[in-house]
Amino acid sequence: MADNLPDDEYLTREEVLSLKALLDEQLESLLSQSKEAVNHLIDVRPPDADVLDVAVTESNRDFTLRMAERERQLVGKIRRALERMHDGEYGTCESCGAEISYGRLMARPVATLCIDCKTETEQLERRKRVF
Ligand SMILES: [Zn+2]
């Protein structure tokens, strides 16, 4: 199945396959984690909980839902990275078209921006927050 991946503009086939293995692994562990979290939500509340217990349970529930939302977003990013791999566009900066280094991808396989564009985006966001 790895054979139908097109050649990537910047990465060697071995690099693409290592990164794909990383993404597959992350995706699988996220999916099994969120399944567990949902199961936990269903049986988390004891039948005779007093008010304090309910409050604690509610905040745990909020926390779990927030985590689930973050996981959902990450799952989306991983799926998108895998799609880009199939399009032969993986490892190319979405903003300037430059190479995203293999080292950066190994540390953050869902990265879609090169380090320069990422730094620039972060600086812009920081400035937005100040004003
Ligand atoms: Zn860039």
- Ligand 1 centroid vs 104 CA: distance in angstroms? 13
Predicted local distance difference test score (pLDDT) of residue 65:
85
- Ligand 1 centroid vs 15 CA: distance in angstroms? 20
- Ligand 1 centroid vs 124 CA: distance in angstroms? 14
Please write the tens of the pLDDT for every residue from 6-44. Answer: 999 899 999 999 999 999 999 999 988 877 777 776 665
- Ligand 1 centroid vs 81 CA: distance in angstroms? 16
Query: Who has greater pLDDT, 53 or 123?
Result: 123
Q: Tell me the CB-side half-sphere exposure of residue 111, using CA atoms within 13 A.
A: 24
Q: Indicate the pTM of the whole model.
A: 0.76
- Ligand 1 centroid vs 11 CA: distance in angstroms? 16
For the chain, domains (ranges, CATH) are 2-92 (1.20.120.910)
pLDDT category at 45 given cuts 50, 70, 90 is low
pLDDT category at 61 given cuts 50, 70, 90 is confident
Please write the tens of the pLDDT for every residue from 82-131. Answer: 999 999 999 999 999 999 999 999 999 999 999 999 999 999 999 887 66
Write the CB contacts of 82 (distance below 8 Å, at least 6 apart in sequence).
20, 23, 24, 27
- Ligand 1 centroid vs 1 CA: distance in angstroms? 30
Q: How far apart are CA 8 and CA 110, in angstroms?
A: 16
pLDDT category at 64 given cuts 50, 70, 90 is confident
Can you say whether the dihedral through the CA atoms of 13, 14, 17, 23 is positive or negative? negative
Q: How far apart are CA 97 and CA 56, in angstroms?
A: 48
Query: Who has greater pLDDT, 52 or 123?
Result: 123
pLDDT at position 1 over 50: no
